[in-house]
A = this chain, B = another copy of it.
Amino acid sequence: MSERPISRFPVPELKGLPEDVRAKILAVQEKAGFVPNVFLTLAHRPDEFRAFFAYHDALMEKDEGLTKAEREMIVVATSGANGCLYCVVAHGAILRIRSKNPRVADQVATNYRKAEITPRQRAMLDFAMKVALDSATVDDADFAALREHGFTDDAIWDIGAIAAFFAMSNRLANVSSMRPNDEFFLMGRVPKS
């Protein structure tokens, strides 16, 4: 049944896209071996496409304060809470690869309190979930709890901003009924020999 549409909205053909959008998509395809559907479903709005991925990369493609795997944990935990199939499956794959742990994505998506993570990562996810689910009540005590685990202002900003960015991303995927590519489901699950 993977023949189901990848979006509720029209998906443009590659050849009609602006050059930079098309180039970005081809580069991803080159690297991953396939085009993740988020690139195709957002491409009908080139300006939003550009801003979305610029924002995404600014938050996710760095390793300071939080590791790349930890950033993906935030995505998977909050996306699970938001019932976002695309993000749980696609970022679950990335989390498995970056953490080199084939179980942690399923754990974090279902109930991060039972996941194979450190107490510091648990505190990180406690905060991320509060930002995702009840940001109006975030207060100084939450910041104090994070600082006890050694998180700097910059790392706290990253946790909050990643949870915030995927609050947006989850809603875009849920509204468009964005379908995760079949490839993501198995990625990072089988140890390479």
Binding site for B on A (CB under 8 A): 1-2, 4, 8-10, 45, 47-48, 50-52, 54-55, 58-59, 80, 82-85, 88-89, 92, 101-103, 106-107, 109-111, 113-114, 116, 131-132, 135-139, 143, 153, 157, 160-161, 163-165, 167-172, 174-177, 179, 182, 185-186, 189-190
Residues of B within 8 A of A165 (CB): 168
Considering the complex, give the chain B residue whose CB is closest to the CB of A179: B114
Q: Contact between B85 and A138 (Cβ–Cβ < 8 Å)? A: no
Once A9-B153, A50-B54, A139-B113 are accepted as A-B contacts, the answer to whether A164 and B171 lie under 8 Å apart by CB is yes
Nearest-Cβ distance from residue A85 to partner chain B, whole angstroms = 4
How far is it, in angstroms, between the C-alpha of A32 and the C-alpha of B167 when the chains are bound?
30
How far is it, in angstroms, between the C-alpha of A133 and the C-alpha of B170 when the chains are bound?
12
Nearest-Cβ distance from residue A191 to partner chain B, whole angstroms = 10
Most B-side CB within 10 Å, residue of A8, A168, A175: A175
Once A47-B54, A172-B160 are accepted as A-B contacts, the answer to whether A186 and B190 lie under 8 Å apart by CB is yes
Q: Contact between A85 and B107 (Cβ–Cβ < 8 Å)? A: yes
How far is it, in angstroms, between the C-alpha of A64 and the C-alpha of B185 when the chains are bound?
31
Q: Contact between B153 and A161 (Cβ–Cβ < 8 Å)? A: no
Q: Contact between A131 and B47 (Cβ–Cβ < 8 Å)? A: no
